[in-house]
């Protein structure tokens, strides 16, 4: 019996410049769309800081007939503003969302109240019924603010029970953390798919800084290998491709339902990893 093709999706962040947007729309998207993803997604800056740019990128991709999901969080917005944004997305033919609590923008201190993702999911369902397919975030290595492993799993269940359809994980390089997490989720009664979020390694220094904040662990042996390459960027690139290809292959061979690539708005190395997997 042939295996079902895994679900593939690609994540972008909204570019800061017009030139960046043009490249994303005219070069990156056609190249990645040729790989036949189920959808693209576009992140939403902390506190709603990219409200217009996320909407702009999502609308342009949708106009090209491509399925795309904006990420959304309350940020500092009130219910009316979020409801209007939902209406706009609906009018523009968007039927997918990635619903998040998001993080406090730096400098906001305690001035802003974050709305948990389960509350956002409930709000979207209350305002728009079944229109949107909703994805939420999951953390195989556990969210950095979680009070315990089990509470984080329970809060994920809460988001799915509130009406989300699926989850996408934070990136990870410890494959065991993902499969253990799936088992724990199943034991907690979660029966919706949890897609593996995968971060190709493009810039090791940035990745290692970012990972410290978001609670994703880069295993020691990978750090040591990367450090040994120093400024030899070609070796870093080759090792990164090999490593992430193997990670994806192990995930798919062991039943992960699909992969969400954090593309960092680049065709390479996502395309190379995808091709290596023979999908």
Contact footprint for ligand FAD (CB under 6 A):
43-44, 46, 71, 98, 100-103, 116-118, 137, 143, 145-146, 151-152, 155, 158-159, 168, 170, 197
User: For residue 179, how many other CB atoms are within 10 A of its CB?
Assistant: 17
Please provide the distance, in angstroms rounded to a whole number, between the alpha carbons at the two ends of the chain. 16
Q: If we measure between CA atoms, which residue out of 65, 59, 121, 116 comes closest to residue 92?
A: 59
Choose between 45 and 239: whose C-beta lies nearer to ligand FAD: 45
Q: Does the annotation count 11 as an active-site position?
A: yes
DSSP label at 2? P
Choose between 237 and 258: whose C-beta lies nearer to ligand FAD: 258
Task: Kindly state the helix (H) or strand (E) to which residue 7 belongs, with its residue range.
Answer: strand 7-12
> Are the beta carbons of 54 and 71 closer than 8 angstroms?
yes
How far apart are CB 145 and ligand FAD at their closest, in Å? 4
Burial class (CB in 10 A: 0-12, 13-18, 19+), 100: buried
Choose between 117 and 185: whose C-beta lies nearer to ligand FAD: 117
Choose between 151 and 254: whose C-beta lies nearer to ligand FAD: 151
How far apart are CB 167 and ligand FAD at their closest, in Å? 8
**Which of 11, 27, 38, 135 is labelled catalytic?**
11
> Are the beta carbons of 261 and 251 closer than 8 angstroms?
no
How far apart are CB 259 and ligand FAD at their closest, in Å? 12
How far apart are CB 252 and ligand FAD at their closest, in Å? 18
Catalytic positions are 11
């Amino acid at each position: 019996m042939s295996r079902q093709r895994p679900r593939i999706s690609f994540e972008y962040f909204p570019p800061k410049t017009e030139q960046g947007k043009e490249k994303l729309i005219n070069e990156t998207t056609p190249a990645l769309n040729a790989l036949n993803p189920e959808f693209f997604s576009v992140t939403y800056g902390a506190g709603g800081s990219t409200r217009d740019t996320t909407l702009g990128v999502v609308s342009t991709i949708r106009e090209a007939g491509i399925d795309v999901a904006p990420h959304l969080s309350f940020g500092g917005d009130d219910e009316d503003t979020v409801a209007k944004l939902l209406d706009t997305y609906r009018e523009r033919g968007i039927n997918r969302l990635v619903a998040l609590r998001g993080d406090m923008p730096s400098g906001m201190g305690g001035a802003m109240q974050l709305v948990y993702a389960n509350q956002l999911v409930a709000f979207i369902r209350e305002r728009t019924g079944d229109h949107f397919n909703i994805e939420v975030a999951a953390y195989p290595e556990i969210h950095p603010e979680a009070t315990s492993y089990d509470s984080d799993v329970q809060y994920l269940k809460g988001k799915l029970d509130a009406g989300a359809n699926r989850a996408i994980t934070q990136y990870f390089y410890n494959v065991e953390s993902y499969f253990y997490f799936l088992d724990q989720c199943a034991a907690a009664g979660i029966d919706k798919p949890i897609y593996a979020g995968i971060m190709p390694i493009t810039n090791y220094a940035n990745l290692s800084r970012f990972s410290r904040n978001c609670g994703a662990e880069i295993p020691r042996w990978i750090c040591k290998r990367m450090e040994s390459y120093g400024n030899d960027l070609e070796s870093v690139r080759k090792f990164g491709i090999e490593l992430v290809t193997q990670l994806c292959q192990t995930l798919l061979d062991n039943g992960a339902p699909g992969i969400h690539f954090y593309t960092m708005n680049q065709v390479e190395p996502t395309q190379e990893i995808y091709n290596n997997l023979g999908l």
